[in-house]
Structure 1
Amino acid sequence: MSIIKLVVMLLLLVAISATTEDTNFIFNGFYSANLTIDGVSSLSSDGLLRLTDGTKQQKGHAFYSKPIAFAKNSSFSTSFVFAIRSEYPNLSGHGIAFVISPTKTLPGALPSQFLGLFNETNNGHPTNHVLAVELDTIQNSEFEDINDNHVGININGLNSAKSAPAGYFVDGFQFQNLSLISGLPMQVWMDYDGGKNQISVTLAPTNVKKPETPLLTLSHHDFSRILRRPSYVGFSSSTGSISTSHYVLGWSFMLNGKAENLVITELPKLPHLGDVKNEQSMILLVGIPLFCLCLIFLLSLAVVHFMKRKKKFSEIVEDWEQDYGPHRFKYKDLYIATKGFREEELLGRGGFGRVYKGIMPISKIEVAVKRVSHESRQGMREFVAEIVSIGRLRHRNLVPLLGYCRRKRELLLVYDFMPNGSLDKYLYNQPRVTLNWIQRFRIIKGVASGLCYLHEEWEKVVVHRDIKASNILLDFELNGRLGDFGLARLCDHGCDPQTTHVVGTLGYLAPEQTRIRKATTGADVFAFGAFTLEVVCGRRPIEQGGGSDGIVLVDWVYGFFRRGEIVEAKDQNLPMGREYREDEVELALKLGLLCSSADPSRRPNMRQVVQFLNGDVPLPDLSLLNSSSSGLTFGHRQEAHHDSAMSFPSSMDGSFSQSSSIAESLLSGGR
């Protein structure tokens, strides 16, 4: 028996030794690194770890192949050098994260805002046992990001337990900003003290020593509940709609000790920005002595061709546009992208222009190009300033406006391309694809989140003024994105309302707009209510009936509500499978009626709408809802109690001056 015990003890010692070996490593370049990679990640011959390769909507992982045996009071230290490079100097496709995970594969993880770590169902779940430090370049309001250039400590999800703007402290107190998408290499240090349950993160350029003051410190958190034994350490990254590459140049790690310092001078070099080989120029240089006469003739032809081509692609570029350089596209690039604006590339026609699909010649980004005409230069400077301002909107449920181009009497606006077109094509005229309830409810919630961002979360208040199904575009996952900001108005938070023209689409216009003639967030809420009923019922807000008058959708749904059968107003083509939720259908229909109140003070604001849709706050009692010639109203029974229960004062009920833009006449109609 003693021999058997001895053998068992030896086996245990071997097992413990196997799990604790290789607890420290250093890679000054990944030339022969013991890594497991997947997705679009790759290792180059010169030692660079490239997590993403510039393609859109992709993810990449790279983990140290052997597990790390974390104990209850284990400490660790790690350091790595990274760089993020985008096709655009001010736009990027999400970020990179250092990860500790019980698995190397992260099954089901999504790209884009999920950083290749989680998905919609497991984000924030305590069974993930994932600790991550994110270097995020996109502000996602759904994860409560502080800005579009931050560092965060994440536990089991993408809502950071603690975050801070990217930068470092000079002399211990003076903060210096850093841009994560500058394309320059930066170094990160991460130190965890298991005894103190404290984790700190430090960031700095590679030519700066490790600052004494960390950028982030998270204390008094039992990380032993998160770190499973064994766990894997590595990196995850993802791209969205912008072509971006994420690199790791070097990495050092140690368990229960201080990680070795990386040798910055030994790290591999990043590719040169804009390094393009011009083989034709080399050929000309070699052939000049032998082909002088031929070259003179060819140059003469080239000059003639160049003059004709320059005239064909000539543009108007004024001095004041130099400030908007990154947002200005070359007409030549747009012409090539759309194959000369061929009819085969036409996506649709609007009241003020045509929209074409295009593929940018260098970046290969798919875009939608809106081509409109303008007859006057009056107000053009203010208009372009507003285009650039709207182009800075960043939300997963908004269609990004990438930039513009001016040429002769034409104005071209460049948007991100949405592959599945507009929502109305999936609701009417016997669509080939019928959206199920999960997809419809996700679209409603997404548009509500985007409107909340416009009304309350961006640096200015944005009133959209044209919310309808044809202006909701669907991305490759059938997520709803609000587009066409042609009638939008901007102002500072808390500004006084100004008069404006009545604009919008019949059926979505709030009743007070013809009276007060103001652009308000409350009018957007009314239009959102009509849109919500439109999606749930599969009907237009106003349809031609059997009589002389049209059938008004709000009145039609209200009839079902009064009979206690509101759910019967749903689209009869709505699939009734497992994804169907009658309680959510009832919630959406009642919310549509609530937002359609004729009295603006009775409508909720968009933040409250989001809370209702997420189930955070129950809907108020709608028993006093009545129909009148002015629309849906609330009765006066028990008025005092009713006012407190049904009043929704809006802190953003502003409107905007008539001179803020000429976008109303140039941008509306189409994508």
Structure 2
Amino acid sequence: MVYQALHPFIFFNVFVQVRQTSHRKFCFLFFLVSFGANCTSFTTSSDDQLLYHGFTSANLITDDTTIVMSNGLLELTNGTVNRKGHAFYPSPLHFHRSHSETVQSFSVSFVFAIHSSYPGMSLHGLAFVVSPSTNFSNALASQYLGFLNSQNRGNSSNHILAIEFDTVMNIEFEDINNNHVGIDINNIHSVKSHSAGYYDDRTSSFRDISLISGDPMQAWVDYNGEDKKISVALAPIKMEKPTRPLISISYDLSTVLKEPSYIGFSASTGSADSRHYILGWSFGMNKPAPTIIVNKLPKLPRRQGSNPQLKLLAITLPIASAIFVILLCGVFIIIVRRRLRYAELKEDWEDEFGPHQFSYKDLLQATQGFSNKQLLGAGGFGKVYKGVLPSSKLEVAVKRVTHESRQGMKEFVAEVVSIGHIRHRNIVQLLGYCRRKGELLLVYDYMTNGSLDKYLYYSDLKPTLSWDQRFRIIKGIASGLLYLHDKWEKAVIHRDIKASNVLLDSQMNGRLGDFGLARLYDHGSDLQTTHVVGTMGYLAPELVCTGKASPLTDVFAFGTFLLEVTCGQRPVNNSAQDNPRVLVDWVVEHWQKGLLTNIIDTRLQGKYNIDEACSVLKLGLLCSHPFTSIRPNMQQVMQYLDGDMLLPELTHMEMSFSMLSIMQDEGFNPLTLSYPPSGTSIGTISNISGGR
């Protein structure tokens, strides 16, 4: 929505001109009335400054989720997930000096706050933006903060300067942590960033500030046109501007900012709800931004869980008189019964995991008592339910796993929490867990479009995936596996890669999920395990024979996954129990005959890129080769998929070993397992202390 009004800078110039006309009295009166209508939102001391104490009746360009609340608070995002919001001053400013390409000095100050109903997490952040346009309809939410997208990030034609206050650590953009301030120029990848905080003027020591504390804080952005230097400072709201800036870099904005440009704010949310607020704002051209008076700013809304009346009640109850003893006893009995109903397991060592533990009560309410109508699916390790968290209204998937032994539970929960720190666009976010009696509850992000196997094998329920969608899913899962194996702080072996564990988000992007069998270990170390876990049809021969998992056993399963997605066939066809057909052998037979195109999923009706599809089939054979020395690692797999490296030519002799014969020669006869359904995982939760 655009509130049309005359720019106060223009008012001054118009007024000077109309004084020379015979109608100057009437025009002067018009000037006073028009300018006075805006005084509730800002005041100006000259034609190159502005100051907002709240935004009631402010003339701003807003869109998407952004609104001005009744008390004058500017709310950029309203807690809706995966959305963006913007607020810009309605008239562009002239940053360049007259008859010169040089950008003038300018100064900005604003007070902001970020609220999140999910403890310790806010997705994502906000940014102060200088842009030649206020149209951000093509920008993306989440990690792009609402002002760029995956196609235009890094383009010099953007002419954008942004100061980001980011609450997520994104590996793709090389973020330093999940609580930082950065200077962005035409890109979401910061040219310089620093952990959020300030330098104490008295001790010169650095003090951290949590951007998601929910408390208001003030930021200052200064550009010195003569020195061509950008400086950014941050401090709690009641502090004066620190002498030493948080970030300072030399950069000539003359080649960046377009003439003229707009100033304003952009914010976005991800899969967890967040609310971004601006309380006050000031700007100055060739002079300091006017001082924001804290006492004049609007109040922030009360955060959930901060009801002072409840705190008062908790203090007064212990000293209540005997008159309330009977009532207190009744309340006590009710509380005891409720606690018995929602009883959870929690030991002292779990305190260190903090916000990763959900309450059983919240999960019970979220899933409507684990109702069958909320059931999303079931597997070898438990059932999965859709839920909506009562406090944040965040959609989640809750996996209910049964366990019979407490042995090794501490190590298992430690791994669950560690995996919960993984952030990657192709990995389903593990939000936390809950332990109760004989079960473990794992809480994941909810994926709107469900699992990939439903699209491959239940065509009457789901539409057919196009080849472009399949190829994008394949590349996405490969990227996620590469991150797990090589890019994260610890190496992670998933151990259960299959179509039913690949989930599709609202944009049909593939995300690898279900880390119930995953193992973590330090890079360079050797993972030892003695239990065979995984899914029939995806198990590498060396894993079956030795029980020892490695990144190459994941590569083997990924190779089978490539064939499965391309052919639309299960890894093991159980239609003939006496002679089950292994998908790898079937593809090898057609490859040797030069008939690869005959086995590509017929539901595609020939609408696919033949070169891409055949390359994926050959790569699948290479990845699922019985010998580990021939399989590529995930770094090489990504290079093959991106076309950065050519696939090696395999001879017919190299691919003449059938999977069944190789496994039988090693002393393992898969027929003795009677071939359970190919989507069934092998192993039980009781193995969690050993080779989960």
TM surpasses 0.5: yes
Q: 1:103 to 1:664 in 2, by over 3 A?
A: same
Partner of 1:445: 475
Does residue 34 of the first structure (1) align with residue 59 of the second (2)?
yes
Partner of 1:415: 444
1:187 corresponds to which letter in structure 2? Q
Partner of 2:536: 506
195, 207, 226: which is aligned to 1:176?
207
Displacement after TM superposition at 1:582 (Å): 4.2
1:495 corresponds to which letter in structure 2? S
- Residues 424, 480 of structure 2: 8 Å contact kept: yes
Does residue 62 of the first structure (1) align with residue 93 of the second (2)?
no
Displacement after TM superposition at 1:173 (Å): 6.4
- State the secondary structure of the residue aligned to 1:418: coil
1:242-257 equivalent positions in 2, closer than 5 A:
242-257=272-287
Displacement after TM superposition at 1:136 (Å): 1.5
Q: Deviations 1:514-558 (Å, cap 9, x if unpaired)? A: 344322112112222221222222222222477943333333334
CA distance in 2, matches of 1:17, 1:378: 85
CA distance in 2, matches of 1:581, 1:313: 54
Does residue 557 of the first structure (1) align with residue 566 of the second (2)?
no
1:75-474 equivalent positions in 2, closer than 5 A:
75=104, 76-170=106-200, 174-220=205-251, 223-274=253-304, 305-430=334-459, 431-474=461-504
1:127 corresponds to which letter in structure 2? S
- Residues 497, 518 of structure 1: 8 Å contact kept: yes
Displacement after TM superposition at 1:566 (Å): 4.3
Partner of 1:53: 78
Q: Deviations 1:200-236 (Å, cap 9, x if unpaired)? A: 3233333444334433344355x33432222211111
- State the secondary structure of the residue aligned to 2:603: coil
- Residues 31, 47 of structure 1: 8 Å contact kept: yes
1:468-617 equivalent positions in 2, closer than 5 A:
468-544=498-574, 548-562=578-592, 566=596, 569-574=599-604, 580-615=608-643, 617=644
CA distance in 2, matches of 1:192, 1:211: 16
- State the secondary structure of the residue aligned to 1:189: strand
Q: Deviations 1:60-86 (Å, cap 9, x if unpaired)? A: 111111111232211322122222221
Q: 1:342 to 1:268 in 2, by over 3 A?
A: same
Q: 1:275 to 1:461 in 2, by over 3 A?
A: closer
Displacement after TM superposition at 1:194 (Å): 4.2
- State the secondary structure of the residue aligned to 2:123: coil
CA distance in 2, matches of 1:413, 1:302: 32
CA distance in 2, matches of 1:310, 1:159: 48
Question: What TM-score, normalized by structure 1, do the two folds share?
Answer: 0.82
CA distance in 2, matches of 1:666, 1:338: 31
- State the secondary structure of the residue aligned to 2:290: coil
Partner of 2:645: 618
49, 65, 72: which is aligned to 1:24?
49
Q: Which moved more, 1:448-457 or 1:138-147?
A: 138-147
CA distance in 1, matches of 2:688, 2:47: 64
2:245 corresponds to which letter in structure 1? P
- State the secondary structure of the residue aligned to 1:602: coil
Does residue 627 of the first structure (1) align with residue 627 of the second (2)?
no
Displacement after TM superposition at 1:472 (Å): 0.8
CA distance in 2, matches of 1:566, 1:200: 60
Q: 1:546 to 1:519 in 2, by over 3 A?
A: closer
Q: 1:268 to 1:517 in 2, by over 3 A?
A: same
| Unaligned segments of structure 1, at least 5 residues | 1-12, 284-291, 633-660
Question: What TM-score, normalized by structure 2, do the two folds share?
Answer: 0.80
1:108 corresponds to which letter in structure 2? N
Q: Deviations 1:548-578 (Å, cap 9, x if unpaired)? A: 433333333344544556455432222666x
2:625 corresponds to which letter in structure 1? S
CA distance in 2, matches of 1:415, 1:262: 42
CA distance in 1, matches of 2:16, 2:479: 50
Q: 1:598 to 1:361 in 2, by over 3 A?
A: same
- State the secondary structure of the residue aligned to 1:554: helix
Partner of 1:10: none
CA distance in 2, matches of 1:16, 1:232: 25
- Residues 352, 665 of structure 1: 8 Å contact kept: no
- State the secondary structure of the residue aligned to 2:655: strand
1:461 corresponds to which letter in structure 2? A
1:653-664 equivalent positions in 2, closer than 5 A:
664=688
- Residues 114, 276 of structure 2: 8 Å contact kept: yes
2:410 corresponds to which letter in structure 1? R
CA distance in 1, matches of 2:277, 2:538: 48
CA distance in 1, matches of 2:199, 2:325: 60
Q: 1:297 to 1:65 in 2, by over 3 A?
A: same
CA distance in 2, matches of 1:153, 1:611: 32
Q: 1:349 to 1:262 in 2, by over 3 A?
A: same
- Residues 591, 619 of structure 1: 8 Å contact kept: no
- Residues 95, 137 of structure 1: 8 Å contact kept: yes
CA distance in 1, matches of 2:308, 2:165: 35
Displacement after TM superposition at 1:153 (Å): 2.3
- Residues 419, 476 of structure 1: 8 Å contact kept: yes
- State the secondary structure of the residue aligned to 1:349: strand
- State the secondary structure of the residue aligned to 2:267: strand
Displacement after TM superposition at 1:343 (Å): 1.5
- State the secondary structure of the residue aligned to 1:600: coil
| Unaligned segments of structure 2, at least 5 residues | 1-12, 19-45, 314-321, 661-684
- Residues 383, 662 of structure 1: 8 Å contact kept: no
Q: Deviations 1:131-161 (Å, cap 9, x if unpaired)? A: 2222221222333333322222223332223
- State the secondary structure of the residue aligned to 1:191: strand
CA distance in 1, matches of 2:687, 2:61: 51
- State the secondary structure of the residue aligned to 1:93: coil
Q: Which moved more, 1:586-595 or 1:334-343?
A: 586-595
Q: 1:589 to 1:26 in 2, by over 3 A?
A: farther
Partner of 2:23: none
Q: 1:229 to 1:516 in 2, by over 3 A?
A: same
CA distance in 2, matches of 1:356, 1:377: 24
Displacement after TM superposition at 1:186 (Å): 2.5
Q: Deviations 1:628-658 (Å, cap 9, x if unpaired)? A: 32669xxxxxxxxxxxxxxxxxxxxxxxxxx
Q: Deviations 1:284-324 (Å, cap 9, x if unpaired)? A: xxxxxxxx99x999877666554433322222333223223
Q: Deviations 1:170-193 (Å, cap 9, x if unpaired)? A: 459644333222222232222234
Q: 1:589 to 1:170 in 2, by over 3 A?
A: farther
2:581 corresponds to which letter in structure 1? I
CA distance in 1, matches of 2:204, 2:312: 53
